[in-house]
Chain A
Amino acid sequence: GQNIDQPTEMTATEGAIVQINCTYQTSGFNGLFWYQQHAGEAPTFLSYNVLDGLEEKGRFSSFLSRSKGYSYLLLKELQMKDSASYLCAVRDSNYQLIWGAGTKLIIKP
């Protein structure tokens, strides 16, 4: 079966750096997505990786290794507003999105 694994919950300190990992086993690969979801709000798109390597976008970066079935989302200079759930999703060979259960990130002052 297809599977996406990410930690259930992580805690980090304001101003620090945190890395949220995502590993996947899917039938084919056509891209990996990260979404952010604040409590009670809509998930919003953060990043899309289809080739190996690091994509940087401000304080957020996303890395992909297709050979390892692995991605991470790196958040720098953490702010309290970064407290949210982070959802990893992979698009398989049928262009279906396979979702992880999400990582709840708690930022402490």
Chain B
Amino acid sequence: ETGVTQTPRHLVMGMTNKKSLKCEQHLGHNAMYWYKQSAKKPLELMFVYNFKEQTENNSVPSRFSPECPNSSHLFLHLHTLQPEDSALYLCASSQDPGGDGANVLTFGAGSRLTVL
């Protein structure tokens, strides 16, 4: 257990479905992140929230919609996805997204998404 919990761990959905991924952190961190991890590719940063405010959106398609109701919870709403969106979606949190210092990321175990 890392202190960052993601549900569900596995999700299979059709291209017309709507589903959501959930992330919860129990570390008292101020920043939360969504990353996409595809096989043999670098981690792709999708969204960053700092104190519940979205501070980054890395040109992510609108079929991915994040929501951060408070500093401990983060959602990724999925709608009309494409097969190429199949990947591992990782949530992470950190104390402070900017500035000096290590600002180590703590990751959840991920949600494995398969789009049929």
A and B held together in a complex: yes
Contacts from A to B (Cβ < 8 Å): 4, 8, 30-31, 33, 35, 40-45, 48, 87, 89, 95-102
Q: Is the CB of B109 within 8 A of A40?
A: yes
Instruction: Give the complex CA separation of A40 and B109 in angstroms.
Output: 7
Q: Is the CB of B42 within 8 A of A101?
A: yes
Q: Is the CB of A48 within 8 A of B108?
A: no
Q: Is the CB of B109 within 8 A of A41?
A: yes
Chain B hits for A41, CB < 8 A: 109
B76: Cβ under 8 A from any A Cβ: no
Chain A hits for B40, CB < 8 A: 8, 101-102
Q: Is the CB of A42 within 8 A of B104?
A: no
Residues in B30-68 with C-beta less than 8 Å from chain A: 40-43, 45
Chain B hits for A97, CB < 8 A: 43, 45, 105
Binary contact readout B97-116 vs A (1 if CB under 8 angstroms, 0 otherwise): 11110101111111000000
Binary contact readout B70-84 vs A (1 if CB under 8 angstroms, 0 otherwise): 000000000000000
What would 30 A/B residue contacts be, using CB atoms closer than 8 Å?
A8-B40, A33-B102, A33-B104, A40-B109, A41-B109, A42-B2, A42-B106, A42-B107, A42-B110, A43-B90, A43-B105, A43-B107, A44-B2, A45-B104, A48-B102, A48-B104, A89-B43, A95-B97, A95-B99, A97-B43, A97-B45, A97-B105, A99-B42, A99-B43, A100-B42, A101-B40, A101-B41, A101-B42, A102-B40, A102-B42
Closest 10 CB pairs of A and B: A99-B42, A42-B107, A99-B43, A48-B102, A42-B109, A45-B104, A43-B107, A101-B42, A95-B98, A42-B2
Instruction: Give the complex CA separation of A8 and B42 in angstroms.
Output: 11
B4: Cβ under 8 A from any A Cβ: yes
CB distance from A23 to the nearest CB of B (A): 14
**Residue with the greatest number of chain A CB neighbours at <10 A, chosen from B4, B98, B99, B107:** B107
